[in-house]
Chain A
Amino acid sequence: MKTLVWVEHEGGELKDATLNAVTAAAKLGEVHLIVAGSTIGGVADAATKIAGVGKVHVADDAAYDHALAENVAPLIVDLMGHHDAFLAPATTTGKNIAPRVAALLDVMQISDILSVEGADTFTRPIYAGNAIATVKTKDAKLVITVRGTAFEKAAAEGGAGVIEAVSSTGDKAISSFVGAEIAESERPELTSAKIIVSGGRALKDAETFEQVIFPLADKLGAAIGASRAAVDAGYVPNDFQVGQTGKIVAPEVYIAVGISGAIQHLAGMKDSKTIIAINKDEDAPIFQVADIGLVGDLYTVVPELLEKL
């Protein structure tokens, strides 16, 4: 089988999520890549080095900048003329593009796969991860998004992919990029961090969140996460949200501070290796999944922890 994997990139850098999707694709067959955008030479070169890749299709056109789905989907559809499967990481970019491709190909997408069971059979989470479905497709071509935490990253070095320029399908001129507010952070990225410190509604406000959670995270070199309640209340920006409808994470250590453990939150972090919960309510559902729990007031526990670590 010939697969085509979406290369996610930003600011001239290839994003790690691509590597997990490559691993999933390699289980199906040959791995080819598509890099789209303008000034993407560096990304294309990085893509050729990913272990095990064959052709790296490069579509150099500003119409593909910011991965506008209206412009990108026709490009993928063209390339699917000689590929059997399209795989994208289940990031907000992948989730935006892949279903548009699927519908244009008249294919039912398989979202957020956890494993490849065969050439047409996959597992995927449903009901906020409270059930795992094994699904088999009848479609001739596959369109798939890949849950990053379920697949190892392919090695970023050692490959010998070959660049092949592809002609642009142009600007459909029905959508355009206006602007973005992308936070620059020195901290590790949430989806690839080894340690995450997450705060919930109990953190009261943005200032308190910053005073209590940030120092602990920084001391541990951790990324910062949050529950939906903390994001809705404006303590931290939306990209911090962990959960069914936020980011899916599986770090070595996940420290949940003042988070109750609603199923929608657990859906995003219950595959973490070790879960640590700090909560003043001993019956909080988070303790049902925590490996280590401490019942106590976070406002005394966290400062003490910070001092003693």
Chain B
Amino acid sequence: MKIIVPVKRVIDYNVKPRVKADGTGVDLANVKMSMNPFDEIAIEEAIRLKEKGVATEVVVVSIGPAKAQDTLRTALAMGADRAILIETDEAVEPLGVAKLLTKVAEEEQPGLVILGKQAIDDDSNQTGQMLAALLGWAQGTFASKVEVEGDSVNVTREVDGGLETVRLTLPAIVTADLRLNEPRYASLPNIMKAKAKPLAKKTPADFGVDIAPRLETIKVAEPPQRQAGVKVGSVDELVEKLKALGVSA
């Protein structure tokens, strides 16, 4: 079984994003960029399935600028077998990404596509579900456990009330939540080896799908800022403040 893992290059999660003064977006010039953390978890899961003998090949795909190659190389260094870059400088929305990935999946015929549940830049949480819809496949979103059994997969999902397990017919879509696994770091020898792994370059035009944006961003603003309040010196003072707020036993 082949597994496809789509990955996105995003602002590093340790960086505090700054809104541009002209209100057109978030300033990404000279900002550290990394792989979306949920995508790292998705790759780790795919590699583990390969190590267990469940999967035979892990293919990573990124839709983004030329720089997204770095993200793909990271994925290859972690243990993915080959990469596909669909290069574009335009921002592609989840619907457009899902349409491109649909074409890739039709070509590659994977048994599973594992994605991150959301990207930490636009926080949309849509791509996996949309891809599942377009392919007509089942979806196991917000996964904290994935067990392939024959021609189906059991996915344990993190839901608002706790955990839920669903059984999906393969091929299927899984989106990774935080506790699915702890992704490995790529070792230096593997980073060197990754340079020789195949990376195919395509463009959206090669797939003949319409990825024109449907949403227009009118402006991007700072959220209302909270002011730091007071520090109290003792528990007694805290109790007083709490009582003033109506908080007491």
State the A residues within 8 Å of B (CB). 10, 66, 68-70, 73, 91-93, 95-104, 106-112, 121, 125-139, 173-183, 191, 195, 219-220, 228, 231-232, 237-239, 244-245, 247, 252-253, 263-264, 270, 274-276, 282, 287-296, 301, 304-305, 308-309
Interface stretch of the complex, out of B103-111, B163-171, B185-193: B163-171
Cα distance, A57 to B11, chains bound together (Å): 43
Chain B, Cβ-Cβ closest to A110: B215
- 3 residue pairs, one from A and one from B, having the closest CB atoms: A291-B229, A99-B129, A108-B214
Q: Which of B16, B129, B131 has the most CB of A within 10 A?
A: B129
B30 sits at the interface (CB 8 A): no
If A100-B132, A127-B121, A309-B239 touch, does A238 touch B217 (CB 8 Å cutoff)?
no
Contact A175 B167 (CB under 8 A): yes
Taking the closest CB of chain B, its distance from the CB of A303, in whole angstroms, is 9
Q: Given A69-B129, A180-B161, decide whether A127 and B235 contact each other with a Cβ distance below 8 A.
A: no
Chain A binding surface SS class: mixed
Whether B160 pairs with A247 at a CB distance below 8 angstroms is yes
Q: Jot down 17 A-B pairs with beta carbons below 8 A, ordered by A.
A: A69-B139, A96-B129, A99-B125, A103-B95, A111-B126, A130-B26, A130-B222, A134-B220, A174-B138, A180-B164, A182-B164, A195-B247, A238-B162, A270-B226, A293-B229, A309-B242, A309-B247
Contacts of A245 in B (CB 8 A): 38, 117-118, 177-178
Listed residue (A109, A136, A244, A287) with the most chain B CB atoms within 10 angstroms of its CB: A109
Interface of B is mostly: mixed
Q: Mark B24-46, 1 if CB is under 8 A from A, else 0.
A: 01100000000000100000000
- CB pair B179 A238 closer than 8 Å: yes
- Shortest Cβ distance from residue A262 to the other chain B in the assembled complex, whole angstroms: 9
How many residues on chain B are close to A (CB under 8 Å)?
A: 82
Q: Which of B54-62, B151-159, B196-204 contacts A (4 or more CB under 8 A)?
A: B151-159
Smallest CB separation, A175 vs chain B (Å): 4
Q: Which of A92, A109, A137, A294 contacts B159 (CB 8 A)?
A: A92
Given contacts A100-B130, A292-B241, A304-B235, 20 further A-B contacts (CB under 8 A): A70-B139, A92-B159, A102-B95, A102-B133, A103-B129, A110-B215, A126-B122, A127-B120, A127-B123, A128-B123, A132-B223, A134-B219, A138-B214, A138-B215, A174-B172, A180-B161, A292-B230, A292-B238, A294-B235, A305-B235
Whether A174 and B129, one on each chain, are in contact in the complex, defined by CB atoms closer than 8 angstroms, is no
- Is the Cβ of B161 less than 8 Å from the Cβ of A182? yes
Which residues of chain B come closer than 8 Å to A110, judged between CB atoms? Answer: 215
Known contacts A100-B133, A133-B220, A134-B219; A112 and B214 CB within 8 A of each other: no
Partner of A238, one of B154, B163, B213, B229: B163
B122-147 interface code vs A (CB 8 A; 1 in, 0 out): 11111111111110011101101000
The reply on B236 being an interface residue by CB < 8 A is yes
Q: Please, how many angstroms separate the alpha-carbon atoms of A305 and B236 in the complex?
A: 8
Specify which chain B residues have a CB less than 8 angstroms from the CB of A274 in the assembled complex.
245
**Interfacial residues of chain B within 206-221, with CB under 8 A of chain A in the complex:** 213-221
Q: Which listed residue (B11, B98, B142, B234) contacts A127, Cβ 8 A?
A: B11
Chain B residue contacts of A295, Cβ below 8 A: 231
* Alpha-carbon distance between A10 and B141 when the two chains are bound, in angstroms: 19
In angstroms, Cα B245 to Cα A93, docked, is: 34
Interface residue from B98, B163, B169, B218 paired with A174 (Cβ < 8 Å):
B169
